[in-house]
Structure 1
Amino acid sequence: MNPLKTGNWRIVVSLFLLQAVVFAVGYFKGEVDTATLYCATILLGALYGGYALGIQSAATATTLFIYTTVSGHGLAPALFWLKYGVDVVFMLALGAVVGRLTDDQRAVTKRSLHDALTGLYNRGHLNEQLHAEIDRSQRHGHPLSVLMIDIDHFKSFNDRHGHQRGDAVLRQVAHVLRTRSRSSDVPCRYGGEEFSVILTETPLTGCQVVGDRLRTEIANSTLYSPGIAEKVTISIGAAQLTSDMKDAEALLKAADQALYQAKQQGRDRVVLAQQTPSESVAPEGKSGEGT
């Protein structure tokens, strides 16, 4: 993760300002050994920004450190320079090693949360996130809904064109879900050709809006895979959290039953789970619809 690319430039600027303060301390207070202070800034950069920021902060720190040392001591005994040379090497190694370890740890975490084929969150993360959102919804009385999505006739598509082309379609459907969902929504791959989207702050009427938008986007797009160009449609079942649903499994089951009805009614449609107005966690008028 490069903070400059992700828009967290304020933290990067703060880091280099901190190094400037260390430089000033070393320059005007020559008796202060600033190596430890510089190492602290390098460590912060590597832990926050990974290898890229770790190396950047280490390069800046060593440059400032060398300048301060040369201007403050001029020609000095060889043992003195050996000590400061070791400090410089340690700073560079600290930024590189800790930064690389940070990147590796983040990569492992990402693999544990994401589906390898589509890049969406996996089912394990879906369950974890849904439990957290249910707790929040019940605590604050905000609506929460889930979409269950199935690619229509996907098995026959695989039989006709092979699994590699089927995988290409899965990735393209996932791309639509990722790019057309709101930032607060959580699109996931549920398994096989099924996907799920957690819709926060969204009642059933909002599910209809979001579901129709996703369904239309995919139905009107030609999903290309190597050597073929074929239309693909999806069926969607939607359910809103109600007062009688005690856990994530109950909400997913309601959405899955609505998905079954969508397939029974001819596919390429959105079906909402049946509920009475009194069942919803919060009145629909208290929250805006999904967009």
Structure 2
Amino acid sequence: MADVMILRELPTRLAELSRSDLQRSTAAAIGVGMGLVALAVAWFLAEGTGRLATLAIAAALIAAQLAVVARREPGTLEWASVMLLQAAVPTVATFALGDHLLVLTPVWIVYAVWAALLFPMRLVLVATVWNAAGIATPSLLMIYREGMDPVGPVACGAVTIGSMLMAVLSVQVLAVAQRHSEARSYNESRTDPMTGLFNRRHTDSALHDELRLAERTGRPCGVLLVDIDHFKSVNDTHGHAAGDEVLTTVARRILGRARSGDIPTRWGGEEFMLVARDIPDHRALESLAEDVRASCAGTVRVANGRTISVTVSVGAALSVNFPATTAIVEAADRCLYEAKAAGRNCTRVAGVARALTDPSAPRRAAGTGGART
């Protein structure tokens, strides 16, 4: 029965594996496989104590690799043991194989790739230096102490060390390019291309996390919905290019009022959202909403030197009253409709009876009035 349950849970567990888990498993398979190749080569080519020593150290290296992979966050001891053993294998193999060391060159290349997949760059370089020293030192000893012809050991060592360095650098270049590509794709997937603010897809998830954090810490968060007044008339009167300029300008003004940890978002169309952390009460939320409204109000210069007067309406809600994602967004949206109905260019906060307005701010954008779009 237990075996059946394990088999049923296997697809779920595999799906939960992160990229680093899969990368670590792949590196383990490569490392262990090449360790077995090293064992086989040493067995057939080496003789006597050299064979036994190479076999013993290669087996220890395989065990160390498995120990690293078994831990999700390997410690310094695990990393150090693998690097030392990686240096020991070529050292002993050089003594054991002599001129036949070139046969193991593919093994060291794959070991270098293995290290580049699994280790941070600084540790990969250390491991490569260790391996190079492990190959060069016994080669020099064989030349100067045992009177060997230097051509064989030098050629073998040079080819092996050069191949290892090329393998490490190649893998690292590819890894850096891949990381940059992944980072660019990730950023593009969560930001709005026009305004540079977060997009709705990102904030849907982030708001859920913020609400859970607020509930856990007892420090409420607030949601502000900001809508540009009479935006349709801006497009109709001045064109869509002018409308885009208004959108990006308002986005910059909202971003300028956002605090560290807040989440400024283009929610859709001419509507923006600001998820604000650490809002202690309704008065603080009301003050922030009015601050955002006043900051967004003003003129926007568009093509041909024309200026457009812009105002916004703001609806806000506090997580204390609306702890669920859907509930707090709907509450802020209702308040935004109330602000629009009250004449625009004002704020409404759920749970607060009065609206804050700025009489000195222009009441309407250029063009004719219109309903919220």
The TM-score with structure 1 as length reference comes to 0.69
Q: Which amino acid aligns with 1:120?
A: L
Q: Distance in 2 between matches of 1:225 and 1:103?
A: 35
Match of 1:206 among 271, 284, 301: 284
CA contact (8 A) 2:203 2:265 kept: yes
Q: Which amino acid aligns with 1:139?
A: R
CA contact (8 A) 1:58 1:92 kept: no
Which residue of 1 is the match for residue 250 of structure 2?
173
Where do 1:123-134 residues align within 5 Å? 123-134=200-211
Shift of 1:66: 10
CA contact (8 A) 1:43 1:94 kept: no
Shift of 1:31: 3.8
Higher relative contact order (CA 8 A, sep 6+): 1
Ranges in structure 1 where 5+ consecutive residues have no aligned partner: 1-20, 46-53, 277-291
Which residue of 1 is the match for residue 10 of structure 2?
none
Shift of 1:198: 0.8
Q: Which amino acid aligns with 2:317?
A: A
SS at 1:239's partner residue? strand
SS at 1:198's partner residue? strand
Match of 1:162 among 215, 230, 239: 239
Shift of 1:88: 1.2
Q: Distance in 2 between matches of 1:98 and 1:32?
A: 31
Shift of 1:224: 3.0
Where do 1:99-118 residues align within 5 Å? 99-118=176-195
Which residue of 2 is the match for residue 153 of structure 1?
230
**What percent identity do the matched residue pairs reach?**
30
Which residue of 2 is the match for residue 261 of structure 1?
338
Which residue of 2 is the match for residue 18 of structure 1?
none
Q: Distance in 1 between matches of 2:211 and 2:203?
A: 12
Q: Which amino acid aligns with 1:252?
A: V
Shift of 1:230: 2.4
Superposition CA RMSD, Å = 3.6
Q: Distance in 2 between matches of 1:275 and 1:268?
A: 17
Which residue of 1 is the match for residue 77 of structure 2?
none
In the alignment, is residue 122 of structure 1 matched against residue 199 of structure 2?
A: yes
Match of 1:216 among 291, 294, 297: 294
| CA deviations over 1:220-276 (Å, ceiling 9, x no partner) | 4x4333333323211111111245x35211111111111111112222222212369
Shift of 1:96: 0.8
SS at 1:138's partner residue? helix
SS at 2:236's partner residue? helix
Inter-CA distance 270–69: structure 2 relative to 1 (3 Å threshold)? same
Which residue of 1 is the match for residue 215 of structure 2?
138
CA contact (8 A) 2:220 2:277 kept: yes
SS at 2:283's partner residue? helix
CA contact (8 A) 2:112 2:164 kept: no
Shift of 1:215: 2.0
| CA deviations over 1:180-210 (Å, ceiling 9, x no partner) | 2111211111100000111122122122222
Q: Which has the higher helix share?
A: 2
Shift of 1:175: 1.8
Q: Which amino acid aligns with 2:295?
A: E
Shift of 1:38: 9.8
CA contact (8 A) 1:149 1:195 kept: yes
Give the stretch that moved more between structures: 201-210 or 180-189: 201-210
CA contact (8 A) 1:211 1:270 kept: yes
Give the stretch that moved more between structures: 175-184 or 254-263: 175-184
SS at 1:77's partner residue? helix
Q: Distance in 1 between matches of 2:313 and 2:236?
A: 20
Shift of 1:89: 1.0
Q: Distance in 2 between matches of 1:37 and 1:165?
A: 56
Inter-CA distance 107–113: structure 2 relative to 1 (3 Å threshold)? same
Inter-CA distance 32–267: structure 2 relative to 1 (3 Å threshold)? farther
Q: Distance in 2 between matches of 1:67 and 1:83?
A: 8
The TM-score with structure 2 as length reference comes to 0.55
CA contact (8 A) 1:235 1:268 kept: yes
Inter-CA distance 121–25: structure 2 relative to 1 (3 Å threshold)? same
Q: Which amino acid aligns with 2:234?
A: F
